[in-house]
Amino acid sequence: MSVSQLENGAWRCQIDRKDMPRVRKTFKSEYQALAFEDKYIRERQEQKNKDRRTLKDLIELWYDYHGSTLSEGIARKNTLIEMAAIMKNPIAAELTPEQVLKLRAHRLQTIKPKTWNNNLGLLKSVYNRLRKLKIIDYENPINGVDPLRLQEEQLSYLSKDEISRLLDEIQKNGTNKDTWWVAQLCFRTGARWGEVEQMQRKQLRDAKLTFVRTKSKKARSVPIDPAFYHALLVHIGKRGSNDRVFCNCAKAFEHAIGRSNIELPEGQLTHICRHSFSAHFMMNGGNILTLQKILGHADIKMTLRYAQLAPEYLADAIKYAPI
């Protein structure tokens, strides 16, 4: 039975059906529990009779009204379509947590847990966004599916000696001359490799780099050493304001890492420059809020991972230890 009496005299309504989200609630009287059961089932049935759109239909609507405005919108849409296909494109309103958990088991055969969490968040966002836009009028049916708890990995960055060794290797043996300059700017500003690599001449001015095509969609400017700035201008020569400053050189950087015998964590390559800038910024006494602005993080939580490297943090760990 869906409704049963508990030892304390209260009444519990527990609806556990495959065709609708599971729910469990406690009431003071049997009448209230039965009324809730009737209303809940009736509303879900009406909802299903009303909205027979498939998950792919919702994904297309999500992309038209929101995803198309994102810098990675097409890639996210493709990921969503792939997940819908694996689940055989169910009726969106009838998607159950069990189906999503089966999808998780399938996906984890080829992707990392962190990537799955991103996939899950993306799938949830389709329902949440469309409900906010009043395109669907029912609750997110997979809200109860939690992301996987992940083991936090040790923060990785290059030492000053490793940075010098890497830059020397690029300069002496690299065939792509832009690689050294891009790496220098990433180490000096904490910028993402792609932000520098795709930079246009107009983004360089008054010894500052202004990044406009950013992940957070917000422009930011970062100063650089004037002497280095003038040397950079000599390197790039005369160019139109909309001309790219550098050619693609991430592969050349990867080769230089290998020649330098520097071991990086799995999945990391050019981003090590950004991590290294941030780590040394904090170790040298930099302010965490300033770092957030330099990196362009929309959420301070992203920046706080570097706070543990601050001198006062390390000093307190020694000062207040019991022995």
DSSP string, 277-295: HHHHHHHTT--HHHHHHHH
Within 13 Å, how many C-alpha atoms sit on residue 82's CB side? Answer: 13
Per-residue pLDDT of the chain (323 residues; tens, 9 = 90+): 689 999 999 999 998 887 778 889 999 999 999 999 999 888 877 766 678 899 999 999 999 999 998 878 999 999 999 999 999 999 999 999 999 999 999 999 999 999 999 999 999 999 999 999 999 989 999 999 999 998 777 789 999 999 999 999 999 998 999 999 999 999 999 999 999 999 999 999 999 999 987 777 788 999 999 999 999 999 999 999 999 999 999 999 999 999 999 999 887 899 999 999 999 999 999 999 999 999 999 899 989 989 888 888 878 878 888 87
Supply the pLDDT for residue 121.
97
Per the structure, how many domains does the chain have?
3
Catalytic residue set: 192, 215, 271, 274, 297, 306
Chain CA centroid to CA 235, Å: 35
Q: Do residues 170 and 271 share a domain? A: yes
Q: Is the pTM of this model over 0.75?
A: no
Q: Do residues 73 and 198 share a domain? A: no
Among candidate residues 82, 87, 140, 85, the one with its CA nearest the CA of residue 111: 82
Domain containing 26 equals 3-50
Residue 153 placed within a domain: no
Residue 150 placed within a domain: no
Q: Do residues 203 and 257 share a domain? A: yes
Q: Do residues 270 and 169 share a domain? A: yes
8 A C-beta contact, residue 143 and residue 110 = no
Supply the pLDDT for residue 1.
61
Classified as helix, coil or strand, 15 is strand
Supply the pLDDT for residue 32.
93
Residue 114 CB partners (closer than 8 Å, separation 6+): 150
Q: Do residues 313 and 165 share a domain? A: yes
Residue 284 placed within a domain: yes
Q: Kindly compute the dihedral angle of the four CA atoms of residues 164, 165, 167, 172, in this order, to the nearest 10 degrees.
A: 130
Measured from the Cβ of residue 309, the count of other Cβ atoms closer than 10 Å reads 18
Q: Do residues 84 and 226 share a domain? A: no
